[in-house]
Structure 1
Amino acid sequence: MTPTVTLTERRPSAGRLPRVEVDFLLAHARHLIDLVPTFERGRYRLTPRGFVGFLTGPTTRYVIRPKIPWPNLRLLLGLSPEAAGATHAPETDLLAVLTTEFVDRLEEVARPGLVAGYSEVESVSSFLRGKLRAADQMRDAAARAFPDRFYINEPVFDLNTPWNQIPKATATALLCRTELPLALRQRVQVAVAPLAGVSDRPVTEALFTTARAEPRAAQYGPLLNVCQLILNGLASADPLGNTGGAFLLDLGLAFERYLTDALHREFAPHRSWRVEAQPGFTLGPTTLQPDIVLRKHGAARVVLDAKWKTATLGASDLHQVLAYATITGARRVGLVYPGRTDARTHFTTPDGRVRVSRYRVRVVGESADLASSIAKLARDTRRE
């Protein structure tokens, strides 16, 4: 049986590790776990960064638990509230929990009928219709005197669309994970059956953007969010170079999405304001992407940067947001940290041109308390 080291996100823990595990962590997991030797030979202090889930080394399995309660983690990840009486231990079966959520969401979408859309398929026709594939046509023309067929991309109305391709790819990936209970994998297989005719396609960020932009597929939103969590978590195994795999969720990204979605809801009634997520600002060879830009009548008024760590205002964080103020023209910038209570502190640059705010929003407590905390943040950023 593989020994397990159980850790809690952001909290240091000391223990013994064989040399092969030390080499693995230093070579592949520096971004996941800080490893510092102690004064005792073979004993190390391990501090997980902002990830939860598991990874497997050559001889040891590392389980990283969240530092916030499980119901609050579900809210942070955008999952539906847990049913009364349900007991899940996210530190051991987080992937199973998300798989269950995926199946539930997919069944909800499929129940009233999957949404079809227009897509293009490559075909060869005796008649010219659709869009001509010029390169293929020219290659064929070079081999024959007269064209007797046309290489075209033909529009078809079917289920082979981005919003259906993403769940299909997610289900395919989950069915390969043998650590999931057999009954759960069977649920996935049944739920994905209506998507059998959908083509397999590599899932990219652009594919998610296209899927979310389709108004007719708005009901797919919660399903696509779960798909993104699962696919990102499964992709964490790739850079680790291990054989046992991994499933890791970046809580920094989750906090950023939670904050963005919550502010979208808060600012929706205020038509003069717009919440912009990660816009790009090019400066020479570099593109800066603030987490959130709040615009009023199109002008950048406030820039917010989400930080999944303790609310310590470091020099690097200040440099970052002041650079955002310069490139966006915003007169107010803010760093938003998670916490158990609300707090805010304001500073002004020596020339009085930019106000810097440090916000702490609640991520622990009842859902109403967390919503109230976001509402306070929104009210404060709207103040002129």
Structure 2
Amino acid sequence: MTVVGLDEGGPWTEHVITAERAATLAASGLIRVAPGPRPGLWKLRDNGLVGAARIGPASDPTEIRVRPKTPIDRLLHLLGYAQRPAGWRRDEVDAGERTELLPALAHAFARAAERALSQGVLLGYRETEEALPVVRGRIRVKDQIQRRHGFPMPVEVRYDDYTADIPENRLLLAATHRLLRLPGVPSATRRLLRHLPLRLDGVERLTPGRALPAWTPSRLNIRYHTALGIADLVLRGASYELDDGATVRVDGLMLEMWRVFEDFVCAALAEALRPHGGTVRLQDGRHHLDRGHRVRLRPDLVLCTAEGRPLVVVDAKYKTGDTPQEDLYQMLAYCTAMRLHRAYLVYASKTEAHTHVITGTEDVRIVEAALDLTASPEGLRAQIAALARRIAADAPGGTGTGTGGRVTTGGAVGRPAATRRA
């Protein structure tokens, strides 16, 4: 097995690998591959994903490890926001001293699941349909006639069973088995994980390829929330979708950082804007650039009046360095279509904020805001709160009076997992 270590956002690095292995890595799309200065030498670089995965045949795979540039504890803080409303409570996430994503998530999940199950396995009612020798619950008359052709036994029934085999426990069990199969999980964490299936005896394992079972956060399962938030991330971050249809074996957990950052900004900023009144729309797809409604616009966040009239538009960009001109053109298109005078570009960097006054318009301004992701969780929340105050102040005529603004979603939010699926 060949191990390749890369840094997120790092420069091209040279590695001695075969042409076949390089082709497999390139086909996966998880990292970027380019020819080196001589035969047998290849240049590799991250492709915007962080984590660990094994690619290629099981007999001789290539293990890639991409270290995030954001400190692990800060990254888990971002992911906690991205997973809402079924996310974890950030004060309960313990990643230990790990510096890579997969070991940190595995350790955090093992600890959170152990805490969740320490008070006993959660039980719930599940509707069950089966054939029994006795009547239990309600008889399914139609099925009895069609399947039994008039015979009285067995009886097709439907009943509510009070059991441990509920979606919450199925997700915990699936995430446990997933982590036990992944490369890069430390042996100490594996020992913790091996205890969990014993606690979840009687819980059915999920069928590969099927959609994950849905669960609803409630007072009854609140002790499960942290573990379920991480479990969802583990299960969704382990699926990949290859655009060219190549049959490449990929086994690992990789996250798209641009999506993690976008979801964090949407969730955290919507929460910070709530006390200022008005309505926040996430992934708002109501707007079009043209009158024929052929070019749909979908900004990350739109601050509206209580009646839904747009006031300020916000887009998150996981970029550093100079501002790409296409970002400014995108925000200008938003302002033009929605007749706005203020737009915000939120970047993941330490640079100072900058305002662009657009020529040929009536005071249209595009503001570049920067978030320092290396700051502490308290410092990052303070940055978000300050940005929310500035956005609310820039809204023409205000966002309404009082507190308790609404948040609505026009698209999927909370999508930290990679979108490639094998």
TM-score, length-scaled by structure 1? 0.77
Which of residues 365, 376, 386 in structure 2 aligns to 1:366? 376
| Matched letter for residue 334 of structure 1 | Y
Q: Which amino acid aligns with 1:220?
A: Y
Shift of 1:5: 2.9
Structure 2 distance, partners of 1:327, 1:118, is: 49
Question: Do structure 1's residue 235 and structure 2's residue 239 form an aligned pair?
Answer: yes
In structure 2, what is the equivalent of residue 53 of structure 1? Answer: 51
Give how far 1:127 is off. 5.5
Give 1:168 deviation, angstroms. Answer: 1.8
Question: Which residue of structure 1 aligns with residue 355 of structure 2?
Answer: 345
CA positional deviation for 1:234: 2.6
Alignment check: 8 A CA contact 2:92 2:226 kept? no
Query: 2:20 maps to which residue?
Result: 20
Name the residue aligned to 2:420. Answer: none
Q: Find the aligned partners of 1:328 and 1:152 in 2 and give their Cα distance.
A: 56
Q: Which residue of 1 aligns with 2:181?
A: 176
Deviation for aligned residue 1:37: 3.2
TM-score by length of 2: 0.71
In the aligned structure 2, how far is the partner of 1:130 from the partner of 1:323?
59
User: 2: distance between equivalents of 1:356 and 1:205?
Assistant: 44
- In 2, are the aligned partners of 1:163 and 1:212 still within 8 Å (CA)? no
Higher relative contact order (CA 8 A, sep 6+): 2
Equivalent position to 2:169, from 154, 157, 164? 164
Deviation at 1:44, TM superposition (A): 3.9
State the shift of 1:120 in Å: 1.6
Partner of 1:217: 221
Identity of aligned residues (%): 27
Q: Which amino acid aligns with 2:50?
A: V
Across the two proteins, how many residue pairs are aligned to each other? 372
Contact kept? 1:14, 1:46, Cα under 8 Å: yes
Q: Match for 1:197: what amino acid?
A: G
1:101 is displaced (CA, Å) by 0.5
- The Cα offsets for residues 135-187 of structure 1, whole Å up to 9 and x where unpaired, read as x45632xx624776664443334333333322121112223346534442231
Q: Partners of 2:141 and 2:33 in 1: how far apart?
A: 54
Q: Give the SS at the match of 2:215.
A: helix
Q: Tell me which residue corresponds to 1:379.
A: 389
The change in CA–CA distance for 1:131 and 1:99 in structure 2 (over 3 A counts) is farther
Decide whether the 8 Å contact of 1:74 with 1:80 is kept in 2: no
Q: Give matches, 1:291-370, under 5 Å.
A: 291-297=300-306, 299=308, 300-310=310-320, 312-314=322-324, 316-318=326-328, 321=331, 332-348=342-358, 350-352=360-362, 356-370=366-380
Q: Does 1:119 align with 2:123?
A: no
Distance change (3 Å), C-alpha of 1:288 and 1:128: farther
Q: Is the 8 A contact 2:217 2:225 kept in 1?
A: no
8 Å contact from structure 2 (residues 25, 33) kept in 1: yes
Q: Following the alignment from structure 2 to structure 1, what is the Cα–Cα distance between the partners of residues 377 and 65?
A: 27
**1:99 and 2:102 aligned:** no
Once the two structures are overlaid, the 10-residue window that deviates more, 281-290 or 302-311, is 281-290
CA contact under 8 A between 1:275 and 1:294: conserved in structure 2?
A: yes
Task: Identify, as 1 or 2, the structure richer in helix.
Answer: 1
Compared CA separation, residues 148 and 202, structure 1 to 2 (3 A): closer
Distance (whole Å) between structure 2 residues aligned to residue 287 and residue 171 of structure 1:
41
C-alpha separation in 1, matches of 2:207 and 2:359: 46
- 2:227 is matched by which residue type in structure 1? L
CA distance in 2, matches of 1:155, 1:355: 59
Residue aligning to 1:245? 251
Q: Distance in 2 between matches of 1:359 and 1:205?
A: 41
Cα distance, 1:197–1:360 mapped onto 2, change above 3 Å: same
Distance in structure 2 (CA, Å) of the matches to 1:26 and 1:324: 35
The change in CA–CA distance for 1:212 and 1:378 in structure 2 (over 3 A counts) is farther
RMSD over aligned Cα, in angstroms? 4.0
Which whole-Å CA distance do the structure 1 matches of 2:209 and 2:336 have between them? 31
User: Residue 83 and residue 47 in structure 1: after superposition, are their counterparts in 2 closer, same or farther (change >3 A)?
Assistant: same
Tell me if structure 1 keeps the 8 A contact 2:52–2:66.
Answer: yes
Match of 1:33 among 31, 34, 37: 31
* Bigger mean CA offset, 272-281 vs 102-111: 272-281
In structure 2, the partner of 1:9 is 8
